[in-house]
Amino acid sequence: MSLPIVALVGRPNVGKSTIFNRIIKSRVAIVEDEPGVTRDRIYSKAEWMGHEFILIDTGGITLDSGEIDEQIKAQAEIAIDEADVIVMLGDVTNHLTSMDETIAKMLYRTKKPVILAVNKADNPEQRNDIYDFYSLGFGDPIPVSGSHGTGVGDLLDTIVAQFGDKANQHEDDAIRFSVIGRPNVGKSSLVNAILGEQRVIVADMEGTTRDAIDTSFNHNGQKYTIVDTAGIRRRGKVYEKTEKYSVLRAVSAIENSDITLLVLDASTGIREQDKHVAGYAHDAGRGVIIVVNKWDLPEKDSSSMKDFEDTIRREFQYLDYAPIIFVSAKTGKRVPDILNLVDKVYHNQNRRIQSSVLNDLLLEATRITPTPLVNGKRLRIYYMTQVATNPPTFIVFVNDPELLHFSYKRFLINQLRQNFDFTGTPIKILARKRK
* 58 part of the interface to ligand GDP, by CB under 6 A: no
Binding segment (CB under 6 A) for ligand GDP, from list 44-52, 61-69, 322-330, 402-410? 322-330
Q: Which of 188, 209, 268, 366 binds ligand GDP (CB under 6 A)?
A: 188
Q: Which of 119, 246, 371, 425 binds ligand GDP (CB under 6 A)?
A: 119
Distance between start and end Cα atoms, the chain: 33
Q: Of 168, 152, 12, nearest to 76 (Cα)?
A: 12
Other Cβ atoms closer than 10 A to 386: 18
* 186 part of the interface to ligand GDP, by CB under 6 A: yes
Nearer to ligand GDP, 37 or 194 (CB): 194
d(CA 229, CA 176): 12
DSSP state of 93: G
d(CA 86, CA 187): 29
Beta-ladder partners of 377: 374
The answer on whether 13 is annotated among ligand-binding residues is yes
Q: Decide: 377 and 400 in contact? Cβ < 8 Å.
A: yes
Query: What residues from 134 to 163 belong to the interface with ligand GDP (CB under 6 A)?
Result: 145-147
Beta-ladder partners of 206: none
d(CA 338, CA 187): 13
* 178 part of the interface to ligand GDP, by CB under 6 A: no
Q: Of 391, 275, 266, nearest to 327 (Cα)?
A: 266
Tell whether the torsion through CA atoms of 375, 381, 387 and 392 is positive or negative. Answer: positive
At its nearest, how many Å lie between ligand GDP and the CB of residue 72?
11
Nearer to ligand GDP, 71 or 349 (CB): 71
What Rg value do the Cα atoms of the chain yield, rounded?
24
The answer on whether 269 is annotated among ligand-binding residues is no
d(CA 362, CA 383): 8
Nearer to ligand GDP, 263 or 413 (CB): 263
Give the pairing type, strands 51-57 and 43-48. Answer: antiparallel
d(CA 377, CA 93): 55
* 86 part of the interface to ligand GDP, by CB under 6 A: no
The answer on whether 154 is annotated among ligand-binding residues is no
What are the φ and ψ backbone dihedral angles of 260, each rounded to 5 degrees? -115, 130
Binding segment (CB under 6 A) for ligand GDP, from list 184-192, 194-202, 251-259, 301-309? 184-192
* 103 part of the interface to ligand GDP, by CB under 6 A: no
Q: Which of 185, 251, 312, 362 binds ligand GDP (CB under 6 A)?
A: 185
* 215 part of the interface to ligand GDP, by CB under 6 A: no
Q: Which of 2, 3, 9, 18 binds ligand GDP (CB under 6 A)?
A: 18
Nearer to ligand GDP, 261 or 396 (CB): 261
Q: Which of 1, 13, 66, 347 binds ligand GDP (CB under 6 A)?
A: 13
* 71 part of the interface to ligand GDP, by CB under 6 A: no
At its nearest, how many Å lie between ligand GDP and the CB of residue 266?
8
Query: What residues from 270 to 299 belong to the interface with ligand GDP (CB under 6 A)?
Result: 293-294, 296-297
Q: Decide: 103 and 88 in contact? Cβ < 8 Å.
A: yes
Site residues (CB under 6 A) for ligand GDP? 10, 12-18, 59, 119-120, 122, 145-147, 181, 183-189, 232, 293-294, 296-297, 328-330
